[in-house]
Structure 1
Amino acid sequence: MVLLTLRHRGGPNGLGHALSVVSHGYLRVARRTFFALGACGWIAMVWTSALPAQSPDELVISPVLLKAMEEVEVPALLDGAVRQIVVQEGGHVDPTSVLVHMDDRNAKHKRDQAELQARIAGLKAADNSTVELAQIEVEVASASLQRANESRKRFPDTPSQAEMDQIRLRVAEANQHLERAKQDLELAHLTHDLARSSLEAANLEFDQCQIRSPIHGTVVQIFARPGEWIRQGAPVARVLQLDRLRAEAFITQKQASFLSIEGDVMVLVHDMNPQGTAKEGGKEIRAKIVFISPEVDINDDRRRVVAEVDNAQQRLAPGMRVAIRIPANNPSIDARRRKIP
C-alpha cells in the first residue's frame, strides 16, 4: 500500500492539478500491470497448448531432464607422455577401443625383460635331475647298508664297526641330499610363479599405455594432446553413451505411489520456437520406469524417478527437457486411483 500526503499549495487550482497528476499516475501503473498480466497469461496459454491434453485417467510429469545413461571421463592409468590421439571428438567407440597411445618404450623393455626371467625360471622349475640323482644316491647307499648288515649276520666282524658307521653316514648324507634337492625344486617352482606374476604385471603396465574406452558411446571431449605429459588419473577423454538415455524427474509422494518399476511410459518431446515457447505437436517415444527413489527430499517433499529411454536413432540428446506421460491403460496406475489432483 502506498500512502500519499498532498499539501494544498496555490489555492483550489493547485489542489486540482495535484489530484490530476496522481490519478494519471495510478492509471499508468494500472495499465502497465494489466499488460504484464496479459503477457504472462498468453505465454502460459502457448506452453499449455503445446502439451497434449491430459485426460483425468493419465499422469503427465513435466519438466523431465534427459541425461546420458553412462558418462565416463577416461583417465590415464600411468604417468607418461602422450604419443598419439587415436580418436576424434564425435567418434563412436566400443568397449576396449583405444583412445590414446602413451609412450610405451620403457614398458615394452620391462615386459621383454620379464619374459626372459620367466623363461629362465620355467626351465629351472622343469629340471628335476638333481632330485632324481639324489634319489639314486639314497638307493645305492641303502643297498650298501643292507648288504653290510647281511654280511655281519654271517661274519660278525665283516665289515668292521668303523666301516658300518661310514656306510650309515653315507645313507644319512644321501637322504639329506634328497631333501635338499626337493626343497630346491620347490623353490624353483615358486620362483617360476613369481616370475610369471612379474610378467603379468609388466604386460599390464604395457597394456595400460593404451588408454581404452570402458563403454560404447560417443567421444564428446578430448583433454590430452600429443607430446603432453599427463599424470596418472588425469582425464584424457570424455565418452557418453547415447543409445539409451535417462529421463529424471522429481515428483510428489502421491504421484510416486502410482508408479511401479518396469512400467511402460511415453516420453513427450516438443520442439521449441525461436521465442522459447513449445511448438504444437511433438513426438512420443516409449520408455520404461527403472528407478523410484526410496528417499524423500526434506526440502520439497519430492522423490526422484528415472525412466530409461531407447535412443538408438539418437533423436534425443542429454540436457533436453521433456515430459513423461503414463497412459490410462498402463499397469503402473491402479484403475481405482488414476485421477491425480
Structure 2
Amino acid sequence: MSLHHEFPLMKSWRLIVAALASVCVAAISAEPATAQTSLRGETPLIAEYCQVRYIRKVDIPAEVEGKLVDLPIEEGMNVAKDDLLALVDDTSARLALEFKKAEEKEAQLNAANEVNLKDARNNEELARAEAESFRELYEKGATPYYEMKKKVLEAIRALLRIDLAEMQKKIAEAQYIAKRSEREIAEFELDRRRITALFDGYIEMRIAQLGEWVQPGSPIATLVQLDRVRVGGDIDALASNGVVRAGVPVLVRVFNTADPDQNFEVKAPLGFVSSEVDGQKRYRIWVDVDNQKDSNGNWMIKPGMEAEIIFQ
C-alpha cells in the first residue's frame, strides 16, 4: 500500500482511539459522583409499628352521692369545655347555699356596725368630763373624796369600753370572713353536682342513665379528645443514633384503609423520644398532630389507624 493511501487510514484509527479514550475518562470521572448520589439517596428513616392513639380519654366521674336528674348527652355528641354532661339532684345544696348567704349578710352588717364603738367613745368623753368636774370640786372641798374617785374610775371604765367595742368590731369582721368562706364552700358543694366537660371532646360512651343513683367516682361518660391526636411508634436505636430527638421535624402519614384517597399527611415536630431502649434495640417515640374534619364534618384521623413517622 502506498503512503498516499496509508495516511488517511491511520488518521481514522487515531480518531476512533481518541473517542474511546474520552468515553473511558468520562465514565471513570463519573463513578464518584454516582456513588455520592447513591449515598445521598438513601432510604429515609421510618418508625415502625406506628398507630394513632388518644391524647386524652377520660371517664368523667360523679363527685357526690345522689340521683341523676339531668343527663343531656348522647353517644356521638361533640361537647365544648364546661358543657353540662349530667346533674345530680342539688335541692339540698341550693337550700344550704341560701342559708349561708343569709348568715354571710348578717355577719357583714355586724362587721360594718360602728354604733357601739361610737356610743362607747361618747360615754368615755362624758365620763372624763364628769371626773374633771368632781376633781375640781374635791380640790375646793365641795365634794367628798369617794365621789371624786368614783367618777375617775367611771371615766377609766368608759375608756375600757372603747377598747371592748373595737375588739367586738374586729371579731365581727373575722366572723364575716368566716361566713363568706362558708358561703363559698356551699357554692362549691352546689357546683360539684354539675358534672361538666373537662375539655372540648367527643362522647365516646354514655355509661350512666337518667334517674340512676350514683356514688362519688361513679363513671358518667367517656370523653375523648379528637381535635388533636397522638401518633406513636418505635424507631431503630442503632439506625437513629444522633438523628432522632425531640423537636426535629418529621412527616406523619396516616393511612385510611377504607378509603386510600383519605390518607392524611402533616408535618410536625417530634414530641417525645424514650430514654429507654427495649429488648429489640428500639426507642419509643410519639408526635402530636392537629386533626381535621372532612367535607361531611367527620374527623379524618381516628385512633387505631395505622401510620408512619418519617424523618426527613
Q: In which range does the TM-score fall when normalised by the shorter chain?
A: 0.7 to 0.9
Tell whether the 8 Å contact from 2:58 to 2:223 is kept in structure 1 after alignment. yes
- Number of the residue aligned with 1:96: 82
* 8 Å Cα contact 2:138-2:145 kept in structure 1: no
Shift, 1:196, TM fit: 0.9
Q: How far is the alpha carbon of 1:284 from its aligned partner? A: 2.1
| Local SS of the residue matching 1:319 | coil
Q: Unaligned regions of 5+ residues in structure 2, if any? A: 1-39, 294-298
Distance 2:118 2:261 in 1: 91
2:251 corresponding residue in structure 1:
266
Give the Å deviation of 1:256: 5.9
Alignment of 1:103-252 (within 5 A): 103-153=89-139, 155=140, 157-252=141-236
Cα distance in 1 for residues equivalent to 2:162 and 2:262: 90
Q: 1:309 aligns with which of 289, 293, 303?
A: 289
Match of 1:35 in 2: none
Query: Which deviates the most, 234-243 or 298-307?
Result: 298-307
Q: Matched residues in 1 for 2:186 and 2:194: separation?
A: 14
Unpaired runs of at least 5, structure 1: 1-53, 328-341
Q: Choose which of 238, 242, 254 in structure 2 pairs with 1:257.
A: 242
Question: SS state of the match for residue 82, structure 2?
Answer: coil
RMSD over aligned CA atoms reads 2.3
CA drift of 1:138 comes to: 1.2
By how many angstroms is 1:249 displaced? 1.6
2:59 and 2:220 in contact (8 A); partners too: yes
TM-score (norm 2): 0.79
2:46 corresponds to which of 56, 60, 65: 60
Which of the numbers 278, 282, 285 marks the counterpart of 2:266? 285
- The question of 1:77 aligning with 2:58 is answered no
Number of residue pairs matched by the alignment: 267
Q: 1:186 to 1:281 in 2, by over 3 A?
A: closer
SS, match of residue 226 in structure 2: strand
Letter of the structure 1 residue corresponding to residue 249 of structure 2:
D
TM-score, scaled relative to structure 1? 0.72
